[in-house]
Structure 1
Amino acid sequence: MENPVRKSILMWLCLSPLVILILFPFAVMISTAVKPRVEVLMYPPSWFPSEIRLQNFVDMWQATRLGPAVLNSLIVSITATVLCLLVAIPAAYAAARMEFTGRKLFRQFLLVTQMLSPIVLVLGIFRLMAKMGFVDQLPALVLAYVAFNLAFSVWMLQAYFQTIPRELEEAATLDGASAIQRLWRIFLPLAIPAIGITAVFIFIYCWNEFVLAMTLLRTPEKSTLTLQTFSLVGGRYQVEWDHVMAATLVASVPVAVIFALLQRSLVSGLTVGAVK
């Protein structure tokens, strides 16, 4: 047996407990989602159901109003992602290429904001949205998501912009291109991979976020997917676990697919600009 193969097998043996620990909740979720309801709380429990009941997903979709919640999450996530990129791209270009007073302080400020959790600021955000009349409105959630993702997006993009050769920008300047034209014609086409990865990170954050949604939204019609899934458990005398796990699986699949397809790009996107 070759040494690299032996090393690979040894590494997988060492990592297998961690892999099992990580996959265990997903195994429980999938098993419960496809079980008949009478087998969900059966004792002793069984991993494999007597029948694969896909009708659970149909029943859950009809009984839990998950469709409007999915639509609300899509609207909020896509809108917040687009708005965040529209603001972050020119800001990242300015931080990467333009000299201005307080430039280093601005970049340090971007890092400091990443240490703040939405939970710490949730009271202030609620009072601000209440004064603006945005409580129980999806635009409130969009604005909050943009605010919390903007610093991360600027940091990601400015790191990538710094890797673009200055000679290209200087040549465009000699041809009479303005700063906006240089950004539009040179930086944006070259930065499409970084912009795409940044957009994925923003979308995943918005799709999975719960605390701000629970604070700012009130009526079931405005609920996002995470909030609607939580409502299947919170404040109920009887929890229909087959519906809960089916809804959780529906909420988890898009994010899991995105991570599976873009795993290498997501990891490389986090280290963009780290080495020059």
Structure 2
Amino acid sequence: MIKIRKRLADTGFGVLALIVFVFSAFPVYWMINTSFLPNNRIRGENLAFFPTPDVFTLNNYRAAMFGEERAPFPPAVLNSMGVTFLTVVIALVVGFAAALALTRFDFKGRRTFILMILVVQMIPGEAMIISLFRIIDGWLLLNTIIGLTLVNIVGVLPFTVWTLRGFVNGVPKELEEAAMIDGCSRATAFWRITFPLLAPGLVATGVFAFIQAWNEFVMALVIMQRPDAMTLPLWLRTFVQATQATNWGAVMAAAVLIAIPVVIFFLIVQGRMTGGLVSGAVKG
């Protein structure tokens, strides 16, 4: 009787998980499906749930990437890649150093600093738009990758420090002390024992920083005002215009193009999010 109940419970949870997956994945599927359909099959009664050979088209991608009525696609890709790369690298380096200082050292004002990190996270980013704009404008960094990167780091860094602090705090100091007893220096013990255990935390935090920097829209709208300085979210906004009908096929194709780098990045790093959990803890 207990086994039957357990099987029914497992089946019920499996069905529930499948329903949640379908509801979560269907919008993504519909976006991809729509990107391969002509506009007369996207809206109305004659919808196509599958891009069959008679309706399959790549014109939406051509219109999205090479259309002359909107901002060019290549500069937007390069701008987004540059801003995202710098944001992730700088946020991880600075956040990791701050997390180590907060966890491994006891200094005056440590608790106040930790509290201030929480307070900063509670402030909506929109509340700081005017201040950040004045600062970036005063530094002559409007419409530059460096300017938007600095703004993104301001938004990402508090969460990065707080998250990495939890990972660093979860690694016992005794592991480093044991390695030092075996003859390692403090730096060698850290890089060979502690750092591999922190790699999953760095990857997970980097994924968050990557997604936030890649999808940033409000701050980019304020900082990057020239067409050649647009990032991909701003480039996507140019598809909707008040003076003409929206080409929804091109919009969906552009959305797919924006999502592809995020998916590729996650597929590259997802195996390392758990692969380093136990590496470095075994002597030998």
Which interval holds the TM-score relative to the shorter structure? Answer: 0.7 to 0.9
Query: Who is 2:198 aligned against?
Result: 191
Is contact 2:203–2:272 with CA below 8 Å preserved after alignment? no
Separation in structure 1 between the aligned mates of residue 192 and residue 275 of structure 2, nearest angstrom: 24
Instruction: Say which is worse superposed, 43-52 or 65-74, in terms of deviation.
Output: 43-52
1:247 correspondence with 2:247: no
Q: 1:221 to 1:168 in 2, by over 3 A?
A: same
Query: Who is 1:127 aligned against?
Result: 134
Instruction: Say which is worse superposed, 232-241 or 251-260, in terms of deviation.
Output: 251-260
Give 1:231 deviation, angstroms. Answer: 1.4
Give 1:24 deviation, angstroms. Answer: 4.2
| TM-score, normalising length: structure 2 | 0.81
Instruction: Say which is worse superposed, 124-133 or 258-267, in terms of deviation.
Output: 258-267
Separation in structure 1 between the aligned mates of residue 220 and residue 265 of structure 2, nearest angstrom: 22
Separation in structure 1 between the aligned mates of residue 19 and residue 243 of structure 2, nearest angstrom: 35
CA deviations on 1:203-259 (whole Å, 9 max, x unpaired) are 111011111111111111111111101111144522211111100111123334555
Give 1:19 deviation, angstroms. Answer: 4.4
Separation in structure 2 between the aligned mates of residue 43 and residue 165 of structure 1, nearest angstrom: 62
Query: Who is 1:274 aligned against?
Result: none
1:51 correspondence with 2:50: no
Separation in structure 2 between the aligned mates of residue 133 and residue 107 of structure 1, nearest angstrom: 32
Separation in structure 2 between the aligned mates of residue 44 and residue 51 of structure 1, nearest angstrom: 12
> Residue 146 of structure 1 aligns to a residue in which SS?
helix
Query: Who is 1:69 aligned against?
Result: 76
Q: 1:176 to 1:251 in 2, by over 3 A?
A: closer
Q: Counterparts of 1:215-234 in structure 2 under 5 Å? A: 215-234=222-241
CA deviations on 1:48-67 (whole Å, 9 max, x unpaired) are 45411134213321115222
2:96 pairs with one of 85, 89, 92: 89
Is contact 1:93–1:183 with CA below 8 Å preserved after alignment? no
1:116 correspondence with 2:116: no
Query: Who is 1:40 aligned against?
Result: 42
Q: 1:41 to 1:68 in 2, by over 3 A?
A: same
Is contact 2:200–2:274 with CA below 8 Å preserved after alignment? no
> How well do the aligned residues superpose, as a CA RMSD in angstroms?
3.1
1:30 pairs with one of 26, 29, 32: 32
Separation in structure 2 between the aligned mates of residue 264 and residue 5 of structure 1, nearest angstrom: 31
Separation in structure 1 between the aligned mates of residue 26 and residue 246 of structure 2, nearest angstrom: 21
Number of equivalenced pairs: 268
Percent identity of equivalent pairs:
30
Is contact 1:210–1:227 with CA below 8 Å preserved after alignment? yes
Separation in structure 1 between the aligned mates of residue 117 and residue 147 of structure 2, nearest angstrom: 22
Is contact 1:209–1:226 with CA below 8 Å preserved after alignment? yes
1:166 correspondence with 2:173: yes
Give 1:96 deviation, angstroms. Answer: 0.6
| TM-score, normalising length: structure 1 | 0.83
> Residue 161 of structure 1 aligns to a residue in which SS?
helix
Separation in structure 1 between the aligned mates of residue 57 and residue 8 of structure 2, nearest angstrom: 42
